[in-house]
């Protein structure tokens, strides 16, 4: 029986190639994801190891000693020059490197900001030379190190990206106003944030301290140990030098490396798991193709199997023969899939970095576990898919098998299948109905929705043979009317074996269902976010800081003097503590705010707001049990020390109004004078601008920037840009989902090709008879093509219909608590999906149709 299994694999190479491709693509997704995860983790570890190379102890400031309103150059930490000198004098300390860390966003030579939307990757550090005059962390590649307040160095890639050369004047911003310094050198770095698309600016230590801490103060101190030094003892000695109030901590290099390794594993593991979900979908689609292929192969070999049974083969031997054949096929396809997965793992980091993922560079890491899991998954999936067909083969009676080639499924089996499918569909409905009415879904609700949708989708797959008959009969009438005999034959061929048709269409259905559901949910969320982004906003422009560090308190006055500006309304915010919990208090001038916003009051009015008088949102007023006329106390400002707020100011506010919540004012609204003194760094959050009717959008944008110093951190957005920023992430995620689910659709296409090709082989004599009685080659090609289109349209109807239904029923989760969320059907994209199904049907039929048309008439008629 083993020799028989080997012979069958070799005898049906052409018929199994599409199945092998389906397994190969699914395994490629799995292996690519596993190798990608190992590669990214290895790259992060490698970069971290280089940064920690030779570091025995790292001393870091906890931020508890910093003044809450410290200005640039006055941010004192627990790490100063005195502490650095004491640590350097410890036995075993070979060298000490004090570090100043900050962020600086550059303007390119053409004036455009560089990486402003990912400011956290725009690093700024001090150049700390050792005894040899060089900084090992940032080795110079060209020029010299910065040595005075008017100089800086850049990472070589940053300089190339921004278009700067040594000697150029570089414009940048650290927190607000634009600064300029001369570029004197280029350095290299292994920091993954920079290598993945960020920027690096290097200053001399004194300049870095003025920009980010204070003269003589640092963010971190790293210690290198001399040879033979006990790292644990050195760490203990360093800890003994630290302030006793816990303002700083000392961590050994080994402990720091271990913690970073754990963090890397956790962060990369989440991404790997997400990608493995899509790999599982691709493999799930492949199961249909594999099961379909083996079912058809067994149907074609019924006489052979009957003969084996007649000469003494037992049922178990027949089952084992089919499973061995599947295992061999799965092993070969999995090996090819693993090799293809290496290519996926190689290009995936670049694709993700193009979307701003921030992944570091590194060589491919191919672990034995990735290879074993890839091969195991491919073989197990293939054997599992072939198990039911193998049991069917074992039940074939020798006499019955020799008298027929392909028996229709028993009516009873279809009835049992239909009942099971109906139960699964009905069983999934309660879960989705429950989440449909949720206003604020939690993570467990998402799992509930997925479970219900999974039951519904599996039930639909089980019911697919029943649903195929009326759809194909209806579609067949159209093909028969348009294409005559070829259309009628295509309909009859599709109806001949509803199980096979359903299995082929189900593979396409799964991909289109997920794509449609995601598209509907994303489009609906996009509309809701766009609506909320401008709800209550009547301004033409919003001015803010791209790094969320606020803008100068006098920015509104400067903007108001710009020609073409009608109103400039400053907006600030502060966090407060009340008896009922935290309070997000927005401050503005009621007179100007009313001209740039459309606040809707249910009690009181905007003009009632004044010193000590605030308006609350409906949600907050209901939650705290406050009405117009009530008073409450709030602690504003200060900072948290050991879990308690220190230095806060207690103020009493009177409620004078209640308004509908919007994006500009979320919880509470007071005067600017009541809020600005307690805002972070006493800065404005934004300035809302109303333009004169005749003001040009492009010219006004530039004038506003010039009036505020044209800092690279300055963000001036019109209403369209505000909406684009709010909804941009939805489109990015959706496009990524399309790419990941595209693998499942590709596998489904292979399934259609495979089914049609094997169906043509089954009908060799039938096709020969059709040719003999007058149907020409063009008619044969048209028949196969129409059959493919009918099957793909059936899969599209199920997929698109179920995707819309699931997106609508799970709107409570898909909306994510968005009040404006309503299910919106993107008709254009849905139409494109239908066209995609038609194209898939036509393309999938090319090879099977040509093969059928080229058959020799006499040979086909006499085939057995």
**From CA 634, how far away is CA 618, in angstroms rounded?**
19
Backbone angles phi, psi at 546, to 5 degrees: -65, -20
- Residue 335: inside a domain: yes
Q: Given pLDDT bands bounded at 50, 70 and 90, which one contains residue 288?
A: confident
Tell me, letter by letter, the H, E, C secondary structure of 293-317. Answer: HHHHHHHHCHHHHHHHHHCCCCHHH
Q: Residues 38, 79: one domain?
A: no
Q: To the nearest whole percent, how much of the chain has pLDDT over 90?
A: 19
Choose one of 685, 707, 729: the last residue of a domain. 707
State the alpha helices, DSSP H only, in 223-252.
Answer: 231-240
459 pLDDT exceeds 50?
A: yes
Choose one of 648, 674, 707: the last residue of a domain. 707
pLDDT 10s digits, 394-408: 776 666 555 544 444
- Residue 864: inside a domain: no
Choose one of 677, 707, 737: the last residue of a domain. 707
State the alpha helices, DSSP H only, in 366-497.
Answer: 368-394, 398-402, 411-436, 443-483, 485-496
Confidence (pLDDT) at 568? 92
Backbone angles phi, psi at 651, to 5 degrees: -130, 150
- Residue 371: inside a domain: yes
Confidence (pLDDT) at 670? 93
Confidence (pLDDT) at 276? 77
pLDDT 10s digits, 728-748: 666 666 676 777 677 677 777
CB atoms within 10 A of CB 413: 10
Q: Residues 246, 297: one domain?
A: no
Query: Six-digit token pair at 212?
Result: 């980010």
Q: Given pLDDT bands bounded at 50, 70 and 90, which one contains residue 652?
A: very high
837 pLDDT exceeds 90?
A: no
Confidence (pLDDT) at 646? 67
Q: Is 93 helix (H, G, I), strand (E, B) or coil?
A: strand
Q: Residues 212, 98: one domain?
A: yes
First to last CA, the chain: 24
**From CA 417, how far away is CA 465, in angstroms rounded?**
9
The answer to whether the CB of 412 falls within 8 A of the CB of 363 is: no
Q: Given pLDDT bands bounded at 50, 70 and 90, which one contains residue 300?
A: low
| Mean pLDDT estimate for the chain | 81
Q: Residues 643, 659: one domain?
A: yes
Number of domains forming the structure of the chain: 3
pLDDT 10s digits, 751-767: 777 777 767 766 667 77
Q: Residues 310, 198: one domain?
A: no
- Residue 526: inside a domain: no
Query: C-alpha distances in angstroms, 481 versus 43, 477, 699, 837?
Result: 62, 6, 62, 21
What value does the mean pLDDT take over residues 473-484? 87
**From CA 284, how far away is CA 275, in angstroms rounded?**
14
Confidence (pLDDT) at 412? 47
Q: To the nearest whole percent, how much of the chain has pLDDT over 70?
A: 83
- Residue 768: inside a domain: no
pLDDT 10s digits, 167-181: 999 999 987 678 999
CA dihedral over 691, 693, 697, 700, signed as positive or negative: negative
Q: Residues 102, 219: one domain?
A: yes
Confidence (pLDDT) at 752? 76
CB atoms within 10 A of CB 408: 11
Q: Residues 223, 185: one domain?
A: yes
Query: Six-digit token pair at 419?
Result: 């009942």
**Per mean pLDDT, which range of 43-57, 236-250, 322-336, 838-852 is the poorest?**
43-57
Confidence (pLDDT) at 406? 46
Q: Residues 282, 398: one domain?
A: yes
DSSP per-residue letters across 652-693: EEEEEEEE---SSS-SEEEEHHHHGGGSGGG-BSEEEEEE-T
Confidence (pLDDT) at 402? 54
Confidence (pLDDT) at 403? 55
Q: Residues 37, 118: one domain?
A: no
- Residue 732: inside a domain: no
Q: Residues 241, 214: one domain?
A: yes
Q: Is 485 helix (H, G, I), strand (E, B) or coil?
A: helix
**Per mean pLDDT, which range of 92-101, 461-470, 539-548, 717-726 is the poorest?**
717-726
Tell me whether strands 93-99 and 140-143 are parallel, antiparallel or unpaired.
unpaired
Confidence (pLDDT) at 356? 57
Domain span including residue 605: 552-707
> Does the predicted TM-score (pTM) go above 0.75?
no
Closest CA to 278 of 32, 524, 24: 32
DSSP per-residue letters across 750-788: HHHHHHHHHHHHHTHHHHHHHHHTT--HHHHHHHHHHHH
- Residue 446: inside a domain: no
* Residue bearing the bigger pLDDT, 327 or 735: 327
**From CA 409, how far away is CA 418, in angstroms rounded?**
13
Q: Residues 339, 380: one domain?
A: yes
Q: Residues 605, 632: one domain?
A: yes
Q: Given pLDDT bands bounded at 50, 70 and 90, which one contains residue 439?
A: low
- Residue 246: inside a domain: yes
Maximum Cα–Cα distance for the chain, whole Å? Answer: 102
């Amino acid at each position: 029986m083993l020799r028989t299994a080997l012979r069958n694999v070799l005898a049906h190479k052409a018929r199994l190639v599409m199945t092998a491709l389906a397994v190969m693509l699914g395994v490629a997704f799995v292996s690519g994801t596993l190798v990608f995860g190992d590669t990214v983790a290895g790259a992060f570890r490698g970069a971290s190891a280089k940064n920690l190379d030779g570091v025995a102890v790292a001393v870091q400031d906890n931020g508890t000693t910093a003044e809450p309103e410290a200005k640039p150059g006055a941010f004192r930490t627990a790490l100063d020059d005195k502490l650095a000198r004491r640590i350097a004098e410890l036995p075993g300390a070979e060298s000490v490197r004090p570090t100043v860390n900050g962020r600086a966003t550059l303007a390119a030579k053409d004036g455009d900001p560089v990486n402003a939307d990912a400011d956290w990757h725009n690093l700024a550090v001090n150049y700390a030379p050792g005894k040899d005059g060089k900084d090992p962390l940032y080795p110079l590649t060209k020029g010299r190190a910065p040595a005075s307040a008017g100089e800086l160095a850049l990472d070589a890639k940053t300089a190339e990206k921004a278009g700067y050369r040594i000697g150029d004047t570089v414009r940048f911003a650290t927190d607000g106003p634009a600064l300029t310094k001369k570029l004197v050198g280029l350095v290299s770095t292994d920091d993954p944030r920079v290598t993945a698309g960020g920027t690096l600016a290097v200053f001399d230590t004194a300049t870095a301290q003025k920009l980010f801490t204070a003269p003589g103060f640092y963010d971190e101190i790293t210690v290198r140990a001399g040879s033979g030094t006990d790292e644990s003892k050195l760490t203990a000695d360093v800890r003994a030098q630290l302030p006793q109030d816990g303002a700083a901590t000392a961590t050994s290099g080994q402990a720091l490396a271990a913690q970073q390794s754990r963090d890397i594993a956790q962060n990369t593991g989440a991404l790997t798991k997400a990608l493995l979900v899509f790999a599982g979908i691709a493999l799930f689609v492949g199961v249909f193709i594999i099961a379909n292929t083996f079912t058809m192969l067994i149907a074609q070999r019924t006489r052979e199997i009957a003969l084996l049974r007649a000469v003494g083969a037992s049922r178990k031997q027949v089952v084992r023969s089919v499973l061995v054949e599947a295992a061999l096929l799965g092993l070969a396809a999995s090996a090819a899939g693993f090799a293809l997965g290496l290519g996926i793992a190689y290009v995936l980091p670049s694709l993700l970095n193009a979307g701003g993922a921030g992944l570091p560079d590194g060589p491919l890491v191919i672990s034995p576990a990735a290879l074993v899991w890839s091969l195991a998954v491919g073989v197990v999936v293939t054997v599992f898919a072939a198990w039911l067909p193998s049991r069917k083969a074992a039940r074939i009676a020798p006499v019955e098998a020799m008298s027929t080639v392909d028996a229709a499924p028993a009516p009873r089996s279809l009835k049992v299948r239909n009942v099971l499918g109906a139960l699964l569909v009905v069983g999934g409905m309660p879960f989705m109905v429950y989440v449909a009415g949720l206003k604020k879904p939690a993570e467990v609700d998402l799992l509930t929705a997925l479970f219900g949708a999974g039951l519904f989708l599996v039930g639909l797959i089980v019911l697919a043979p029943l649903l195929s008959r009326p759809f194909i009969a209806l579609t067949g009438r159209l093909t028969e009317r348009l294409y005559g005999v070829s259309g009628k034959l295509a309909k009859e061929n599709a109806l001949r074996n509803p199980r096979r048709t359903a299995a082929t269409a189900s593979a396409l259905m799964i991909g289109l269902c997920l794509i449609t559901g995601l598209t509907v949910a994303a489009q609906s969320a996009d509309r809701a976010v766009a609506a909320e982004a401008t709800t209550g906003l009547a301004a033409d422009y919003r001015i803010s800081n791209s790094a969320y560090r606020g803008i100068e308190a006098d920015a509104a006055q400067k903007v108001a003097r710009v020609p073409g500006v009608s109103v400039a309304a400053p907006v600030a915010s502060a966090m407060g503590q009340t008896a009922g919990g935290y309070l997000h208090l927005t401050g503005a001038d009621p007179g100007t705010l009313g001209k740039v916003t459309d606040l809707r009051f249910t009690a009181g009015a905007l003009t009632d707001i004044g010193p000590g008088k605030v308006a609350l949102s409906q949600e907050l007023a209901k939650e705290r049990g406050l009405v117009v006329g009530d008073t409450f106390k709030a602690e504003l400002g200060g900072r948290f020390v050991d879990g308690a707020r220190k230095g806060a100011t207690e103020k009493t506010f009177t409620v004078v109004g209640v308004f509908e919540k919007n994006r500009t004012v979320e919880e509470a609204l007071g005067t600017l004078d009541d809020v600005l003194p307690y805002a972070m760094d006493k800065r404005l959050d934004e300035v809302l601008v109303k333009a004169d009717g005749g003001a040009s959008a492009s010219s006004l944008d530039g004038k506003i920037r010039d009036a505020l110093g044209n800092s690279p951190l300055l963000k001036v957005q019109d209403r369209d840009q505000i909406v684009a920023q709010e909804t941009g992430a939805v489109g990015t995620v959706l496009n990524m989902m399309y790419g990941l689910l595209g693998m499942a659709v590709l596998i489904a296409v292979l399934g259609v090709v495979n089914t049609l090709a094997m169906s043509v082989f089954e009908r060799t004599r039938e096709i020969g008879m059709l040719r003999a009685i007058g149907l020409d080659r063009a008619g044969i090609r048209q028949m196969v093509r129409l059959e493919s289109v009918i099957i793909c349209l059936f899969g599209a109807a199920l997929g698109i219909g179920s995707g819309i239904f699931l997106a609508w029923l799970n709107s409570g989760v898909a909306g994510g608590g968005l009040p404006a969320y309503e299910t919106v059907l993107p008709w254009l994209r849905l139409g494109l999906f239908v066209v995609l199904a038609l194209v898939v049907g036509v393309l999938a039929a090319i090879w099977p149709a040509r093969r059928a048309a080229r058959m020799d008439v006499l040979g086909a008629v006499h085939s057995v």
